[in-house]
Amino acid sequence: MKRIIQFVIYLLCASLFISQSYAENILHSDSDYSIKIAVTINENDKIIGKLEYSNHKPQFPLQLVTVGSSLGIIHVEPYVFELLEKTIISKNVHKIRCRPLNDKYGSTEITGTIDFSNELKPKIKLVNDSGHTYISNITEKGKKIHKKYIPNVWLGH
C-alpha cells in the first residue's frame, strides 16, 4: 500500500513538471504570441506609443496607440494595421509587410522586422516605402517624454 501511494505521488509531481514545461513552450512560440512594445514614431522622438503584435483572433495583428504633446495638450490616437505578409525568419523573429487601415496621413505599405526572441527586450524596425523609419524601439528621449507626460501608463517592453 505504501508503494502505491509513493507511486501516485511520484506521478502527480512528474505530471506537474511536464505540464509546466509544455505550457512554457506553447506560450513562447510562433503559434501563440502577444507582445507589447514601447515605440517611437517617425524617428522624431516627439511621438511615442504602444504597439501590440499578436496572433489572437479577432483582434488585428498589429495595433498601435500613439501619444504626443502639442502646446501642452496630450493627443492620443489609435491605429490598426492589416498584415499583408508575414515570414518567420527564426523562432520569434518575424519579417512583416503591412499597411495602416486608419492612418490619416496615408496608407503606404510598411515593412520590417519584429524580433521578440527576448520578450523583455523586443526589437522592432518598420520602414515605409521611401525607406524612412516609421516605427522603432523607444529612444532615451522618448522615455523622457513618457515619464514627463504619462508616467503611470505602461507602454510595453
Domain boundaries, the chain: 1-32, 35-149
Calculate the alpha carbon distances from 73 to 33, 45, 68, 97 in Å: 34, 16, 8, 33
**pLDDT digit string, tens, across residues 59-103:** 788 999 999 888 888 889 999 999 999 999 999 999 999 999 988
* β-pair type (47-54, 110-115): unpaired
Distance CA 131, CA 66 (A): 21
pTM of the model: 0.75
pLDDT of 113: 96
